[in-house]
Amino acid sequence: MNAANRGLGKGLGALFEEARANVPADRALAGDTATNVQYIDIHEIRPNAKQPRSHFREEAIDELAASIKTHGVIQPLIICAAAAGFELVAGERRWRAAKKAGLRDVPCIVREISEEQRILFALIENIQREDLNPIEEAVALKQAMDAFGFTQEELAKSVGKSRPYIANALRLLRLPEDVRGYMVDGRLSGGHGKAIAALSDSEKQSKLAAYLAEHGCSVREAEILAADPRFAAPKAGARLKSRTKSAEMRAVEEELHGLLGTKVSITGRGNRGCIELNYYSREELEGLIELLRGLQGR
């Protein structure tokens, strides 16, 4: 990939700013020429085949359709020319709701965007709006890395996330299918998945995931179980007993977790103890070392 393509994330950011122009329900007031908005027949637009989001809640689409019936499509769709008609780059949720609301045409901004740009553009839009479940996001990040030849560091900069965030998301794809399923249907979060991924044995990963989903355990409880070397699947109906740790110590762990982007565990007795930092790849280790060196110079 040449140097020009490495700056793609910034260019897409500019497109997002342009797409945020509000479009009133009454097109006569929209100022189409000034905002580059065109009204396109909704049946000439097809979904983006590279859309990272595969699950759309029908209840949410119904709510948006009701709003569109009253106020119109306030934010234009971003589309590009296709072999037949147009393809969505961003705004599939609005497009689905507009169809349900019975609109004949919708406000759009037409852009010349390559297939690779469409992947990253759709990914950034969904990440910024937190519309993806953890597995959809991980798949989309992997897709973007493959399409652009990005390193984790370059992808992190393009989507506005830290490198550990990217690394942890990608690790979810190595989890067993049943574990990924819990995250797709919302019973487990990405934080749960990260804790489960700390186990190297797939059978234990599946057992822990099932237990966490059944009992509605917190991410912290998942981390405690996954970190216990004696871990075995708890007996049916058993409740997890957390190790005693002061609220102050847990708060410090959470603060360091936010600062370093990885799991932090503090253990000790009296005035002695240790701080444990977890990493799950060579890249994560190098990132932590760079971060700690940077803190030294402050």
Q: What positions carry a catalytic annotation?
A: 92
Distance between CA atoms of 209 and 182, rounded to whole angstroms?
8
Side-chain half-sphere of 110: how many Cα atoms within 13 Å?
13
Closest CA to 249 of 220, 225, 278: 220
Sort residue 110 into left (φ over 0), alpha (ψ -120 to 50) or beta.
Answer: beta
Closest CA to 179 of 155, 195, 199, 196: 196
Strand pairing report for 45-46 and 86-90: parallel
Distance between CA atoms of 67 and 71, rounded to whole angstroms?
6
Distance between CA atoms of 171 and 69, rounded to whole angstroms?
42
Closest CA to 220 of 202, 248, 242, 198: 242
Burial of 82 (0-12, 13-18, 19+ CB in 10 A): middle
Closest CA to 10 of 166, 154, 167: 154
